[in-house]
Chain A
Amino acid sequence: MRLADSVAAPPPRGIGQVLATGAGRLLVSIFVPVVAFIVLWAGFLFLKDSGAPKIVIVLVAIVWGIGGVALLYVVANWLTEKLPPAWQRRILPFVFVGPAIAILTFYLLVPAFLTAWESLFNATGSKFVGLDNYVYSFSNPEMVTAIRNNVLWLVFGTLFSTGLGLAIAVLVERSRLDRLAKTLIFLPMAISFVGASVIWRFVLSFQPAGQPQVGLLNAILSGFGIGPVSWLTGEPLNTILLIVILIWGQTGFAMVIIGAALKGVPDEMLEAGRIDGASEWQVFRRLIVPTIWPTIVTVATTIAILTLKIYDIVTAMTGGNFNTQVIATLMWKQAFTFFDAGRGAALAIILLVAVTPVIWYNLRQFRGRAI
């Protein structure tokens, strides 16, 4: 656009004449970004200290935040177009990718190194302690429990969410209730883990014997004459029940993804198998599962990553008490409750090391599927 403009533009007149001079251009080039900056700064101060009604602040925040980012791109592009063409070509790509690179550097790349570095220091960061924080992480009983719990989450959460998802996907396909079932089982995906935890409080609630049980599970048990069980205080049953909440939330995800893959299994292949005398189970086990195996792996690794980083359910259900803590909740507690930056950082690094191979595998699966 710029190039074409400068070739075809009519001779400038009046204010255009002033703007066309070098000094005028320079002035405008400074003036526009300065105005943009002042507008954004004023917005920031308003949002920070304003006593305006909440709804006004919220609306201003939304407009300011989105508009601000768009404005920055427009101004940066406008400035670049003022440059000679050779420089434009050199600078413009960085106007496009620069902000993303800068944000990723500030929020992920540098923090990863800083956290790794910090994990080698004591609580206040004043003394180098070598690998002490890691030794502590693998020897302190509370930490060991957290790691054990994370293994439980990883194994049971992944296995049951994926397995149930597969089973339900196969089952639902043969049922008349398929649409209703799919929507209702998928729906918990939209609910936060915090919301899910509130929901499950009314399933797992416990009152001492003799009092009315308002929790569904204990009410059912008492119907059979079995005394109320305090579900969330005894380990490792409490962690297992927290995992049930995750399974309730994630099975729908597994079902939908695996269901989509099932649609891609060629009917002729299954028919050929049946004609050859294979039972339905053999068709499932020998033909369907191998065909959709890559999808199953993708789903399983995705859920595995989620279980390794699980935080919300534990925080909302037990606050990490009764030995239900996991690595992520302990990490938060060490860093922001005990202000032990070194131990918190070590736990974060342990999390990174645990997650990396799973994500790497997950990404490789995706590339294999050539999206």
Chain B
Amino acid sequence: MRRIAWSRVAINGAVFALIVVWTVPTLGLFITSFRDKQDIFNSGWWTAFTGGGGTFTLDNYNTVLFGGDGLGTAFLNTLAVTIPAVVIPILIAAFAAYGFAWMEFPGRRILFITVVGLLVVPLQIALIPVLKAYLAIHLNGTFLAVWLAHAGFGLALATYLLYNYISQLPKDLIESASLDGASHFTIFVRLILPLSVPALASFAIFQFLWVWNDLLVATTFLGTDQDVAVMTSRLVSMTGSRGQDWQLLTAGAFVSMIVPVMVFLALQRFFVRGLLAGSVKG
């Protein structure tokens, strides 16, 4: 009896220690983001608890969100990049998945195998050729350029996953709708899309986190000009060229995290389901 009690204490203690180790770095950033610029350099964030750590302020957030060269613009840019870059590939992939699953056409098998095969191509392969093509048609630096790039890099996985789901829907359902005179387009919009919501949601969350947190694609095709840059790329330039403005960096980092963390916590269940179904970007 006593042994079991002791092992329970040990396990709970170990888990508590893990929680502390995993959380303290983030906590440190959070506290730092409310500290004055001078305080950040003069003392560690933990001194805020032991006294002598200065006072707390909202100035960093004020500057970051509403200041002239703050992250307000970058936040909006990230939104403008992310929302279409999530919806567009899902829409295109859902159409394709339906086509592959429920339509007859020559070359169906070989085309589908090609799509799955493209899962192995890392997006780094595409950077130089796509950038050249973009420069030739003056598309670089536009939102459209980034949306399509994210669509291209997410599409193979999206098509593959949605195919797995849509091809498993009951055959009778689609056949009877077809007998009632519904066209493929009607069946897809009225029947398949609503039925596929769980799969669509799982992939949407995954693609959302991926695009929102992406640095490489946005930096390459959108650039680092303040007017168009997304948050991740602004944060990186803040760590480099303005290495002294840590107070802005901390608040900025927190602003960039707040949306994905909220989405994540609210929709964790869908996210886990997506991961278990293989929503793992190659």
Contact = CB atoms under 8 A, between A and B. Distances in A.
Interface of A: 1-4, 44, 47-48, 54-55, 57-58, 61-62, 65-66, 69-70, 73, 77, 81, 90, 92-97, 99-101, 103-104, 106-112, 114-115, 118, 168, 171-172, 174-178, 180-181, 183-195, 197-203, 212-216, 219, 248, 253, 256-257, 260, 302, 305, 309, 311-312, 315-316, 319, 328, 331-332, 335-336, 341, 344-345, 347-349, 351-352, 355-356, 359-360, 362-363, 366, 371
A96 B45 contact: no
Given A184-B19, A332-B216, A192 B260 contact: yes
List of 8 A-B pairs having minimum Cβ-Cβ separation, nearest first: A107-B152, A96-B99, A192-B213, A65-B84, A100-B96, A190-B264, A93-B105, A4-B181
A65 B88 contact: yes
5 contacts: A184-B22, A190-B209, A195-B213, A203-B25, A352-B120
Contact of B88 (A69, A93, A106): A69
A356 B121 CA distance: 7
B195 interface: no
A174 to B, nearest CB: 5
Given A101-B96, A108-B118, A171-B14, 13 more contacts: A69-B92, A108-B156, A110-B129, A175-B12, A175-B14, A177-B19, A185-B19, A201-B246, A214-B41, A216-B46, A248-B25, A305-B282, A352-B122
Nearest to B15: A175
A219 B215 contact: no
A335 B128 contact: yes
Nearest to A69: B88
A54 B127 CA distance: 28
Nearest to A356: B120
Contacts of B188: 96
Given A54-B73, A103-B155, A260 B272 contact: yes
A210 B32 CA distance: 22
Nearest to A317: B239
A29 to B, nearest CB: 17
A193 B149 CA distance: 20
B124 to A, nearest CB: 5
Given A104-B118, A107-B153, A115-B128, A66 B88 contact: yes
B115 A260 contact: no
Nearest to A43: B144
B189 to A, nearest CB: 9
A73 B73 CA distance: 32
A290 to B, nearest CB: 20
B244 to A, nearest CB: 13
Given A62-B84, A183-B265, A359-B119, A188 B22 contact: yes
Contacts of A99: 92, 95-96
Contacts of A349: 125
A47 B93 contact: no
B96 A177 contact: no
A184 B21 CA distance: 10
Given A177-B15, A185-B19, A193 B213 contact: yes
B159 interface: yes
Contact of B44 (A55, A212, A305, A360): A212
Contacts of B29: 198-199, 202
